[in-house]
Amino acid sequence: MMTPLRYLFLVLGILIGLHYILSFTHEEYGRATSISNIASGLRGSQPPYKYEAKPVSDYFDGNTTVHRKANAAFVVLARNNDLQNVIASMKQMEDRFNKKFDYPWVFLNEQPFSEDFIKRTTEVTASKTSYGLIPKEHWVQPEWIDEPKAAKARQKMLENKVIYGGSVPYRNMCRFNSGFFFKHELLKDVKYYWRVEPSVKFFCDIDYDPFLVMQDGNKVYGFTISLYEYESTIPTLWETTKEFIKENPQYLAEGNAMKFISDNGGEKYNRCHFWSNFEIGDLDFWRGEAYTKYFEHLDKIGGFYYERWGDAPVHSIGAALFAKKEQIHFFDDIGYRHEPFQHCPQGAAHSKGKCWCDPADNFDHHWYSCTSKYDKMFQ
């Protein structure tokens, strides 16, 4: 006669046996009940940049020719006197990535490029290069801006030592990057872009295609560094944004990244933004109705000139509100520096990328970084 304890052991034995049988015969059951999957569930969801990139061999055929590429280009906004610093950035990008993937370069300038600029940038790459003139109406301060009012604002910023506070060209650049670069003739048929600026550093080998990460994952915006904006440059930007949201609630994306830019559900802007000197993005997202209407609303207020609204907070707010949070991608394995901050990959990513940056010099967890807020959205 069996005791209750023996019945218990018998039932447990049967259940364990069934578990192992199902694990080996039903792949989905085995995956769902694995220790790693259960542990992952207990930890919560992980940031979407924690992916396993395809090996470089997956992009090439036997003749080392790329067999799958995105419709994409590098975009460089530069003047002729930036030439040497542009070449330094290009050379690193070519050596670390583009020699293998062969994406074209698009250069934009409000003045015609010199023959020397064209000659020397063409020599640095085997890829196609194009050179475009920015339309005057996309660059200069609009006639409808109240210049005495704008001049008074610039003078006040100068007195308060706000960086670029007295500069009209800087404001022109911010407005152009916020609302017009993606409309340029040379980019009209391009889907994805990678912004490259003069005098930046790329520390690591990139043996996969970030453009295909964007395309295959339905991403719209990619970054490496995030930080807080100077409050004195954007005193009314968030109130202007809230006015737009109130009038156009239909444009807010479900599951957006509001928690990255606000700590209280949108009542106030926490000033977090993605540092837009590095960005990989979907040009069609900026061309879309939601962002277009948003930029038009900002532009008519005049804050690019009456204050000093930058393209970084404008792009960041646009991406955070009009895209799902999973569509914003942290390229944590791309080592990058724009003075004075840098992102240096950590751990295995540092050795895998043959990075030459100091892992201890990494802005991600600096008190002025917002990357922890990005991570928290997925916890």
pLDDT-derived band at 13, boundaries 50, 70, 90: low
Summarised one tens digit per residue, pLDDT across range 212-255 is: 999 999 999 999 999 999 999 999 999 999 999 999 999 999 99
Please tell me the pTM assigned to this model: 0.85
Q: Among the residues of 147-261, which ranges form H helices?
A: 147-159, 168-179, 210-216, 237-247, 258-261
Q: Please give the positions annotated as active site.
A: 279
pLDDT-derived band at 33, boundaries 50, 70, 90: very low
3-state SS class at 238? helix
Mean pLDDT for the stretch of residues 260-275: 98
Summarised one tens digit per residue, pLDDT across range 161-218 is: 999 999 999 999 999 999 999 999 999 999 999 999 999 999 999 999 999 999 999 9
**For the range 65-69, what are the long-range contacts, defined as Cβ-Cβ under 8 Å and sequence gap of 24 or more?**
66/100, 66/101, 66/102, 68/212, 69/101, 69/102, 69/103, 69/209, 69/211, 69/212
Cα end-to-end distance, the chain, whole Å: 53
Return the pLDDT at 23. 44
| CA distances to 107, 115, 147, 178 from 133, in Å | 9, 14, 25, 17
Q: How big is the chain by its Cα radius of gyration, in Å? A: 25
Mean pLDDT for the stretch of residues 261-278: 98
Which CATH number describes the domain made up of 67-377?
3.90.550.10
Q: Where are the beta strands (DSSP E) in the chain?
A: 72-77, 105-109, 129-133, 192-195, 201-202, 221-223, 226-228, 272-274, 279-282, 328-330, 336-338, 341-343
**Between residues 64 and 153, the one the model is more confident about:** 153
CA 206/CA 141 separation, integer angstroms: 39
Read off the tokens for 254. Answer: 């479900």
Q: Give the single-character DSSP code of 327.
A: G
Summarised one tens digit per residue, pLDDT across range 38-91 is: 333 333 445 665 555 555 555 555 455 556 999 999 999 999 999 999 999 999
Return the pLDDT at 60. 52
pLDDT-derived band at 134, boundaries 50, 70, 90: very high
Give the start-to-end residue ranges of the domains of the chain: 67-377
Structural contact between residues 154 and 165, judged by C-beta atoms closer than 8 angstroms = yes
Return the pLDDT at 40. 36
Structural contact between residues 261 and 322, judged by C-beta atoms closer than 8 angstroms = no
| CA distances to 151, 153, 154, 222, 305 from 167, in Å | 10, 11, 7, 28, 10
Q: Is 149 left (phi over 0), alpha (psi -120 to 50) or beta?
A: alpha
Structural contact between residues 165 and 157, judged by C-beta atoms closer than 8 angstroms = yes
Count other C-beta atoms under 10 Å from residue 177's C-beta: 21
